């Protein structure tokens, strides 16, 4: 029951960390790797504030043991911005006021980041269904949905321009 | 949560051996087990993760037209890979929980847990599926034995589930929006030799077949065939989200909707 050594590649950087079997991934990210973007909200798998991207899939990092992520590639909100500046989603959340207190925002944007890769051109309904596992208690979701749709449009426009 | 040992075997044989330890517990996607352990409602001494077992992953078609799904296959994978052959099952999988839950939760985990409001038990019972374990094959009709109770023995693992594919099928889920479980869910499947109707979320005894509706629908597969049929509210669950009578009423409504959508 002692600590086990696990390997995680987080935001492109490889780490070897020691974790007890019962350690939740979100705690490894926040306390060992000091990536405090993934938030501990409800810790009951409902709110999605801890959402990270694991091997190309959205996962709630409070509902996974670090040991289960051994060998995985993880992206947190800290890994979403580019060296040139904020990710389009981050820009659009600011532009459309897609946050008030900001607590859900890292999980919300990390989920939206994956959603737009799964479905680059979602309808409003698909956005709402796609972020069903991320709760926001401030905005009523209106501006979050607007921000995600605006980001989709922006990303599609820049893809077209590049072709 | 209390600490435990963690193992991630690569074969079914190694998993069965690891589960021989006292108070060892199989771990699927952990979307129910982790919250349960956080509340100290479960205190296994050892967790045996099934996610590293290749032969328990994925969806494949069999020569007889049935569909086999590995026990460690996630809901998201079933939603994507069963869509062509068994769209009603894929649709059910695509509405379990939320996207993050579907990326981790597994069909074997859901069936082993047998939550009275879970979706997969309705699909398995409604399809007349076969639950395949490391030791034997269990017909769905014999498998579900009440709230959180199944025919599984201590240490037995669901390695796969085999679904006969019906001529037409549909699942209607009346969503409990906070939990994203079914307040009531009805799975209707029409086979050449008759119709099966399985109900989840409603009964105090967990998933069950509504035999009166099955007989009526086998005679005439139309929503009207269910008119006048009523499930006895006495054995239904009643809570702040819905009374026994409300759940009993929803069963009829959702059965009609499922038949209309399937036919």
Q: In A, which residues are within 8 Å of B35 by CB distance?
A: 44-45, 63
Task: Give the model's pLDDT for residue B145.
Answer: 98
Residue at token pair 């040139």 = A84
Task: Give the model's pLDDT for residue A83.
Answer: 87
| CA neighbor of B172 nearest in space, from B260, B56, B240 | B260
- The predicted model scores a pTM of 0.96
A4, A110, B157 from A140: Cα distances, Å = 42, 19, 43
Q: What is the ipTM of this complex?
A: 0.96
Inter-chain CB proximity B98 and A22 less than 8 Å: no
pLDDT one digit per residue (tens) for chain B, 263 residues: 999 999 999 999 999 999 999 999 999 999 999 999 999 999 999 999 999 999 999 999 999 999 999 999 999 999 999 999 999 999 999 999 999 999 999 999 999 999 999 999 999 999 999 999 999 999 999 999 999 999 999 999 999 999 999 999 999 999 999 899 999 999 999 999 999 999 999 999 999 999 999 999 999 999 999 999 999 999 999 999 999 999 999 999 999 999 999 96
Domains annotated on chain A, with CATH:
4-79 (3.10.20.30), 88-162 (1.10.150.120)
Task: State which residues form the domain around B22.
Answer: 1-49
Shortest CA gap A83–chain B (Å): 28
A151, B95, B247 from B176: Cα distances, Å = 31, 12, 12
Instruction: Give the CATH number for residue B212.
Output: 3.30.390.50
Neighbouring residues of B250: CB distance < 8 A, sequence distance ≥ 6: B174, B183, B184, B202, B242
Q: Which of A132, A134, A136 to mutate to test the interface with B (most CBs of B within 10 A)?
A: A132
Indicate whether B4 belongs to any domain: yes
Indicate whether B105 belongs to any domain: no
Indicate whether B59 belongs to any domain: no
Q: Strands of B24-27's sheet, edge to edge?
A: B5-7, B46-49, B24-27
Cβ-defined contacts of A32-35 (< 8 Å, 24+): A33/A8, A35/A10, A35/A11, A35/A76, A35/A78
Task: Give the model's pLDDT for residue B21.
Answer: 94
In this complex, how many residue pairs, one in chain A and one in chain B, have their CB atoms less than 8 Å apart?
74
CB contact, 8 Å: B175 with chain A? no
Inter-chain CB proximity A59 and B104 less than 8 Å: yes
**Structural domains counted in chain B:** 2
Task: Give the model's pLDDT for residue A2.
Answer: 87
| Closest in B37, B38, B100 to A60, CB measured | B100
Q: Which chain A residue is nearest to residue B179, measuring alpha carbons?
A: A46
CB contact, 8 Å: A65 with chain B? yes
DSSP string, B22-87: TTEEEESS-TTHHHHHHTTS---SEEEE-TT-GGG--EEE-TTS-EEEETT-BHHHHHHHSTTT-H
Task: Give the model's pLDDT for residue B48.
Answer: 98
Indicate whether B43 belongs to any domain: yes
What is the DSSP-derived secondary structure letter of residue B239? B
Is B215 in a helix, a strand, or coil?
helix
Looking at chain A from residue 71 to 110, which residues have their Cβ under 8 Å from any Cβ of chain B?
none
CB contact, 8 Å: B35 with chain A? yes
Indicate whether B115 belongs to any domain: no
Handedness of CA B153, B37, A3, B28 (dihedral sign): positive
Task: Give the model's pLDDT for residue A19.
Answer: 97
Instruction: Give the CATH number for residue B3.
Output: 3.30.43.10
Q: What is the mean pLDDT of chain A?
A: 96
Indicate whether B152 belongs to any domain: no
CB contact, 8 Å: A57 with chain B? yes
Residue A102 has pLDDT above 80, yes or no: yes
Q: Which chain A residue is nearest to residue B45, measuring alpha carbons?
A: A1
Indicate whether B252 belongs to any domain: yes
Is B122 in a helix, a strand, or coil?
helix
In this prediction, residues A94-100 reach a mean pLDDT of: 97
Indicate whether B92 belongs to any domain: no
In this prediction, residues A14-26 reach a mean pLDDT of: 98
Task: Give the model's pLDDT for residue A163.
Answer: 82
Q: In the numeric block, which tokens belong to residue B199?
A: 């109900």
Q: In the numeric block, which tokens belong to residue B194?
A: 């008759």
Q: In B, which residues are within 8 Å of A68 by CB distance?
A: 8, 27, 30, 49, 51
CB contact, 8 Å: B177 with chain A? no
| CA neighbor of B132 nearest in space, from B121, B140, B120, B122 | B140
CB contact, 8 Å: B38 with chain A? yes
Residue A1 has pLDDT above 80, yes or no: no
Inter-chain CB proximity B3 and A1 less than 8 Å: yes
How many whole angstroms from its chain centre is CA A134? Answer: 10
Q: In the numeric block, which tokens belong to residue B172?
A: 């209607």
Inter-chain CB proximity B30 and A63 less than 8 Å: yes
């Amino acid at each position: 029951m002692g600590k086990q050594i696990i390997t995680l590649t987080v935001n492109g950087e490889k780490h070897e960390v020691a974790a007890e079997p019962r350690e939740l991934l979100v705690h490894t990210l926040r306390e060992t790797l000091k990536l405090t973007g993934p938030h501990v909200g409800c810790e009951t798998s409902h709110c999605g504030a801890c959402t990270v991207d694991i091997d190309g899939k959205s996962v709630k990092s409070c509902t996974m043991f670090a040991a289960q992520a051994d060998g995985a590639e993880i992206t947190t909100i800290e890994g979403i911005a580019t060296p040139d500046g904020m990710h389009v989603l981050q820009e659009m959340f600011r532009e459309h006021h897609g946050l008030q207190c900001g607590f859900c925002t890292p999980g919300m944007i990390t989920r939206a980041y994956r959603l737009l890769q799964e479905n680059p051109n979602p309808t409003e309904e698909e956005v709402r269904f796609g972020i069903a596992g991320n709760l926001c208690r401030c905005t009523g979701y209106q501006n979050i949905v607007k921000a995600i749709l605006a980001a989709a449009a922006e990303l599609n426009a820049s893809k077209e321009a590049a072709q | 949560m209390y600490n435990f040992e963690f193992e991630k075997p690569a074969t079914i044989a190694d998993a069965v051996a690891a589960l021989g330890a006292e108070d060892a517990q199989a771990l699927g996607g952990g979307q129910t087990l982790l919250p349960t352990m956080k509340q100290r409602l479960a205190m296994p001494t050892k967790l045996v993760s099934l996610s590293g077992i290749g032969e328990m992953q994925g969806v494949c078609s069999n020569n007889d037209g049935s569909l086999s799904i590995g026990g460690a296959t996630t809901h998201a994978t079933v939603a994507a890979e069963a869509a062509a052959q068994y769209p009603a099952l894929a649709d059910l999988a695509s509405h379990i929980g939320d996207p993050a839950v579907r990326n981790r939760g597994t069909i074997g985990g859901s069936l082993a847990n047998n939550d009275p409001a879970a979706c997969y038990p309705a699909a398995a019972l409604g399809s007349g599926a076969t639950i395949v374990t490391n030791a034997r094959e269990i017909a769905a009709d014999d498998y579900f034995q009440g709230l959180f109770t199944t025919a599984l023995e201590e240490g037995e693992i669901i390695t796969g589930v085999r679904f006969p594919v019906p001529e037409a099928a549909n699942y209607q889920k009346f969503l409990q929006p906070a939990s994203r479980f079914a307040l009531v869910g009805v799975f209707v499947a029409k086979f050449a030799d008759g119709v099966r109707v399985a109900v989840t979320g409603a009964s105090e005894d967990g998933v069950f077949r509504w035999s009166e509706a099955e007989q009526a629908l086998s005679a005439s597969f139309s929503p009207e065939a269910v008119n006048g049929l009523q499930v006895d509210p006495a054995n239904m669950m009643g809570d702040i989200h819905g009374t026994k009578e409300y759940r009993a009423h929803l069963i009829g409504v959702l059965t009609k909707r499922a038949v209309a959508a399937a036919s």
